[in-house]
Amino acid sequence: MCFGLANHALAEDGYDLWLRYQPLESAARARYAPRIAALVAPGESATIRAAVDELDRGYRGMFGQPLARRQVVQDGAVLVARAGAPLLAGLELPFAKLGNGGYLIRSATLHGKRVTIIAGNTDQGALYGVFRFLKLIQTGQPIDALDIADAPKLQVRVLNHWDNLNGHVERGYAGLSIWDWQKLPRFNDPRYTDYARANAAIGINGTVLTNVNANADILRPDYLEKVKALAAVFRPYGIRVYLTARFSAPIELGGLKTADPLDPQVRAWWKSKIDEIYTVIPDFGGLLVKANSEGQPGPADYHRTHAEGANMLADALAPHHGIVMWRAFVYAAENAEDRHKQAYTEFQPLDGKFRDNVLVQVKNGAIDFQPREPFHPLFGAMPHTPLMMEFQITKEYLGFATHLAYLGTMWEEALSADTHRPGSVAKVLETQVEPGAVTGMAGVANIGNDRNWSGSQFDQANWYAFGRFAWDPEAKADAVARDWARMTWGNDPAVVGPVLRMMMGSREAVVDYMTPLGLGHQMATGHHYGPGPWIADLKRPEWNPVYYARAAPDGIGFDRTRTGSDALSQYAPEVAKAWGSLDTVPDSLLLWFHHVPWDYRMKSGRTLWDALVIHYDTGVDHVRAMQADWAGLRGKVDAQRWAEVRDFLAIQLDEAIWWRDASIAYFQSIAKRPLPAGHKPPAHDLDYYKAITTPYAPGQAG
Ligand code: BDP
């Protein structure tokens, strides 16, 4: 059954995200009204107040009037409460299964009245339940006979903002940082509250405010006051703040001569700094650290291990119940080993050596957030160490803000991959390494101060999907996309159908026009905007696209089998065997693991060269198909957002063609084969593409 929302002609700019609460059509209003006639919410905590405010806001938006608040139960009342509330006495509700953050929503009869109960073991659980209840109405679902129980499968569900103190966002394509450090702590932009609402709606319970390429100044007392102000805004929504720790902070802020994690003075400095943080922010979440990676300081500077570095911070955080998220994104300078292997080589031997309150944060793949990567070999390989997933929501390698690429499918692919150690990546993340051990997922945020938050309307879907996958790593990308589409564009099947079609094929399209068949990192230098497959002159070999594609007269691809770098040996034998054989490796990972001749016969019977060209064109064709779908939605969604998406798709088509043409021009100069019949030559010669420079592309590091 689907009640549908009224189609709205008002201009929208995307600010409201998935909390639009558009007026319902009168038939839907009439159907829902008897089940949401009043609100009874006995608790008085800030979180219950936030839940009540949200319900009220949603009700006003959808029903056009305030929701009556009552002290006593009446027919049609919605009850928002915590387990143990006297109101719920006598009802046998299954709270035990809900843990801290879970909730139930149940239609029930109480004192002879028909009511809907929304409850959790904590106020935060009840708040999540309220958002779920509102979603049911937003997406046109029936609410007469509800029996929903849901709980997060991971504990730490955090955004990582790569935001610098000067407002620049590393790999940010949505304007400047939303944290206005200059005006904090006096001025709390109302936007911070909306940020917290949007995150709580999808179950996110933490935010790392600062860039992993960290600046020690965030730990100064004056900045901690600013962090405190943000923490106060987020607290009612169950969101904790975390900061990035620059490993050399004891030198930079403390005036010490060393940051050696075994030095007593260094340890004392961190202990006192961390105690100070907790004096200011008693529920501070903990620290995220990028160490000995891409020039960042770390324990290796003192010949100490990652575990020794992480444990020093963990010891200081433990009395406050804080955690350390220690990143495994490392690839050492001057290391000739295949970059794919380096994090495993460095971290796997440390399994079991980290303190209980350390999570090792591992990117989904071993290289760097590419449009497609096989899952990281560390998943499943450190059974005694809590590992958390790091996804990149911001689309550094998938077309920045303008390309429509729904990442839910990519994340589902990574999470459902079978590690054979045992189980899927999702199971590895969900399984506590010992009772009470912490679990989690991080997403590199795509949020900035643009009105639409994410730089494009459709990039909001990636923020939304991240929350859903962090809550349930076994979520399905299409179901998540459907919810988002309904809340964002309305319930009209004539809208939802095309929007879903666009989204579900969109990431594969980017793979096809940028890095088909298992190619990786073909992007231009520094900003990673546009194609640069020919680039070969950068200082470190693994910074160059030619390092990854290895295109030569004899063929293309990176041999990671035993005859090559043997990176495959870092996976479980079943995985290594499947991907190591040309008979069983999927086409999508062929060139990631194998170097094959240009005339290699694919399973389709085509040569590799022909297949490569066809993939580039398939990607471009999908963008055209998205344009056609979107053109059909004119007048079915609001004009302002419609026009923005139309224009962004035009940019995407231009750039998809650029990628296709530049890549084919380059690879053809090496393969020296004709294009398959029916496939047009690039519009220009290779030199033309090589000469394109975009020095001011946004989001650059530094
Ligand atoms: C890469 C980004 C760089 C980040 C780095 C990281 O290009 O800006 O600092 O990852 O994750 O993807 O630390």
> In this structure, is the dihedral angle defined by the CA atoms of residues 104, 109, 111 and 113, taken in order, positive or negative?
positive
Which of 649, 607, 597 has the alpha carbon at shortest distance from 627?
A: 649
pLDDT digits 0-9 by tens, 7-20: 444 579 999 999 99
| pLDDT band (50, 70, 90) for residue 2 | very low
- The pLDDT of residue 247 is 98
Task: Give mean pLDDT, residues 462-482.
Answer: 99
**Helix H or strand E segment including 191:** helix 190-201
Are 168 and 176 within 8 A, CB to CB?
yes
Task: Give mean pLDDT, residues 113-126.
Answer: 97
Residue 6 has pLDDT above 90, yes or no: no
Amino acid symbol at 585? V
Alpha helices in 367-514 (DSSP H): 408-416, 425-430, 460-471, 477-489, 493-514
Tell me how far apart the alpha carbons of residues 498 and 503 are, in angstroms, rounded to a whole number: 9
Sequence spans of domains, the chain: 26-150, 156-489, 512-558+595-690
> What fold, for 512-558+595-690?
Alpha-d-glucuronidase, C-terminal Domain (3.90.1330)
pLDDT digits 0-9 by tens, 127-163: 999 999 999 999 999 999 999 999 999 999 999 999 9
Pick the atom of ligand 1 nearest to 290's CA.
Answer: 13
For residue 15, the tally of other CB atoms under 10 A from its CB is: 13
- The pLDDT of residue 9 is 47
pLDDT digits 0-9 by tens, 581-609: 999 999 999 999 999 999 999 999 999 99
* Ligand 1: lining residues by beta carbon, under 6 Å: 170-171, 212-213, 290, 294, 329, 368-369, 396, 701
Residue 334 has pLDDT above 90, yes or no: no
Tell me how far apart the alpha carbons of residues 143 and 530 are, in angstroms, rounded to a whole number: 48
Which residue puts its alpha carbon closest to atom 12 of ligand 1? 368
For residue 14, the tally of other CB atoms under 10 A from its CB is: 22
CA of 485 to the centre of ligand 1 (A): 30
Q: Judge whether 368 counts as a catalytic residue.
A: yes
CA of 569 to the centre of ligand 1 (A): 26
Name the one residue in this structure whose structure tokens are 């090496």: 670
Task: Give mean pLDDT, residues 566-583.
Answer: 98
222, burial (CB in 10 Å: exposed 0-12, middle 13-18, buried 19+): exposed
From residue 274, give the alpha-carbon distance in Å to each of 260, 267, 286, 558. 17, 11, 9, 45
Name the one residue in this structure whose structure tokens are 């839907």: 28
Which residue puts its alpha carbon closest to atom 11 of ligand 1? 329
Amino acid symbol at 488? T
**Helix H or strand E segment including 388:** strand 387-392
DSSP letter at 382 equals -
β 440-444/156-160 pair status: parallel
Q: Determine whether domain 26-150 maps to CATH 3.30.379.10.
A: yes
Order of strands across the sheet with 77-82?
Answer: 38-40, 77-82, 113-120, 103-110, 147-150
Pick the CATH number of 156-489 from 3.40.1710.10, 3.40.1080.10, 3.50.50.60, 3.20.20.80: 3.20.20.80
From residue 300, give the alpha-carbon distance in Å to each of 260, 293, 340, 350, 616. 9, 10, 20, 14, 42
Total length of the chain? 702
Cα 348 to its chain centre, rounded Å, is 25
- The pLDDT of residue 5 is 43
Which residue puts its alpha carbon closest to atom 3 of ligand 1? 701
Tell me how far apart the alpha carbons of residues 621 and 616 are, in angstroms, rounded to a whole number: 9
DSSP letter at 376 equals P
- The pLDDT of residue 333 is 66
CA of 340 to the centre of ligand 1 (A): 15
β-pair partners for 286: 242, 323
β 77-82/440-444 pair status: unpaired
Catalytic residue among 163, 308, 368, 638: 368
From residue 154, give the alpha-carbon distance in Å to each of 236, 467, 484. 20, 11, 21
Alpha helices in 188-338 (DSSP H): 190-201, 221-234, 249-252, 264-280, 306-317
Tell me how far apart the alpha carbons of residues 520 and 533 are, in angstroms, rounded to a whole number: 10
| pLDDT band (50, 70, 90) for residue 90 | confident
> In this structure, is the dihedral angle defined by the CA atoms of residues 552, 554, 555 and 559, taken in order, positive or negative?
negative
Which residue puts its alpha carbon closest to atom 10 of ligand 1? 368
Alpha carbon dihedral 134, 389, 619, 530, in 10-degree steps, equals 110
Catalytic residue among 123, 338, 396, 450: 396
